[in-house]
């Protein structure tokens, strides 16, 4: 059993680990891009994650950011975009800016703090946000120290949520990497993603020491008992509890891909160039090419129903 002292010690370790990650320096080009992008807006913070963080900036790199705001109107956009972000978060925008004479491109998602808190929790039916923020992330812009602390807690919550799911979706026993790899296989399958095989394992391998260090303290904070034999760990959960959470995961799997399809369709008319962006994303993540007519680019709302029908018939909604 985990004592209160053990849990408190583990929580302090996790908080410090997340703080160090969030404040690790990034390329000055990323910081310049974010300063230009934020401009006169007043978000709580901007979080940087994804392949641009892992692999650095290349000629074709698409940077990934999450902008966290107190309320929808804190980020400049139309009322329609604010409404869409309230109903089906997050909105995704495409930004292209010149930094040091070179064009840089980014995919920018927007969430309110309330949405960020909810979507990083264990009860969230949408897995996308906590799965993203259980991976390494940097806080590259902050309103103030209070905002930074608030966002750090959300990132820590996402990491705890992911680690809890590893106990229910991972092997009966195994090395710590095995639990994270099992989790990311499940989260990729739940979304509209057909990334190359082993993508999740590649992320874990890139930060192997990090993931090994995080798992057991997360379980301790969550009150999940375990036993270790050599390098192998076994979560001590009852068959009833494991079955219950596996069933809960199936609910998330059933809604994951349709939810992401709806987000991609929403993207077609919530920012400039959205139809082309959505078509690229659908082809990239489902393997299905989406031809766009001039009519579809100009009137994405009218073109959406037949497009969804064609995607359905081609299997974009099917789980792997």
Residue found by looking up tokens 């992008």 in the block: 37
pLDDT for residue 111: 98
For 191, what's the count of Cα atoms within 13 Å in the CB-facing half-sphere? 22
Q: What is the mean pLDDT of residues 72-87?
A: 92
Residue percentage of the chain with pLDDT more than 70? 83
Assign 259 to helix, strand or coil.
helix
Q: Does residue 35 surpass a pLDDT of 60?
A: yes
Instruction: Go through the domains of the chain in sequence order and give each one's CATH number.
Output: 4-255 (3.30.460.10), 256-314 (no CATH)
Q: What is the pLDDT of residues 234-292, one digit of tens each?
A: 999 999 999 999 999 999 999 988 888 888 777 766 665 566 666 766 776 667 777 77
Residue range 46-72: mean pLDDT, rounded: 92
Structural contact between residues 120 and 130, judged by C-beta atoms closer than 8 angstroms: yes
In the prediction, which pLDDT does 55 show?
83
Q: What is the CA radius of gyration of the chain?
A: 20
Read off the pTM: 0.84
User: How far apart are alpha carbons 215 and 234 in whole angstroms?
Assistant: 12
Residue with tokens 């972000």: 85
Indicate the range of 83-87, 166-170, 199-203, 293-297 predicted with least confidence.
293-297
Q: How many CB atoms lie within 10 A of CB 90?
A: 23
Q: How far apart are CA 88 and CA 23, in angstroms?
A: 30
Tens digit of each residue's pLDDT (9 = 90 or more) over 101-149: 988 989 999 999 999 999 999 999 999 999 999 999 999 999 999 999 9
Tell me the two tokens of residue 35.
């300063």
pLDDT band at residue 296 using 50, 70 and 90 as cut-offs: low
pLDDT, residue 4, reads 81
- Lowest mean pLDDT across 88-97, 183-192, 297-306: 297-306
């Amino acid at each position: 059993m985990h004592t209160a002292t053990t849990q408190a010690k583990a929580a302090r370790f996790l908080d410090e680990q997340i703080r160090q990650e969030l404040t690790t320096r990034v390329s000055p080009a990323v910081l310049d891009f974010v300063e230009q992008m934020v401009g006169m807006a007043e978000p709580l913070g901007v979080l940087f994650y994804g392949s641009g963080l892992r692999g650095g900036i290349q000629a074709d790199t698409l940077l990934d950011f999450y902008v966290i705001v107190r309320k929808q109107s804190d980020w400049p956009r139309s009322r329609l975009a604010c409404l869409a972000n309230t109903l089906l978060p997050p909105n995704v925008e495409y930004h292209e800016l010149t930094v040091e004479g070179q064009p840089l491109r980014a995919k920018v998602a927007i969430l309110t703090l309330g949405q960020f808190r909810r979507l990083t929790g264990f009860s969230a039916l949408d897995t996308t946000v906590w799965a993203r923020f259980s991976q390494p992330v940097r806080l590259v812009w902050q309103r103030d120290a209070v905002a930074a602390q608030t966002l750090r807690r959300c990132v820590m919550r996402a990491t705890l949520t992911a680690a809890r799911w590893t106990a229910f979706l991972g092997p009966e026993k195994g090395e710590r990497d095995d639990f994270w790899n099992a989790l990311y296989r499940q989260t990729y399958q739940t979304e509209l993603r057909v990334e190359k095989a082993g993508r999740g394992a590649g992320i874990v391998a890139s930060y192997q020491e990090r993931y090994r260090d995080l798992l057991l303290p997360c379980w301790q904070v969550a009150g999940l008992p375990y036993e270790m034999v050599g390098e192998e760990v076994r979560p001590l959960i009852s068959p009833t509890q494991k079955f219950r959470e596996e069933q809960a995961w199936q609910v998330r799997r059933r809604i994951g891909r349709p939810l992401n399809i709806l987000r991609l369709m929403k993207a077609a008319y919530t920012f400039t160039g959205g139809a082309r962006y959505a078509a690229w994303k659908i082809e990239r993540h489902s393997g299905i090419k989406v031809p766009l007519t001039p009519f579809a680019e100009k009137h994405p709302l009218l073109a959406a129903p037949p497009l969804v029908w064609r995607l359905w018939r081609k299997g974009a909604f099917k789980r792997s």
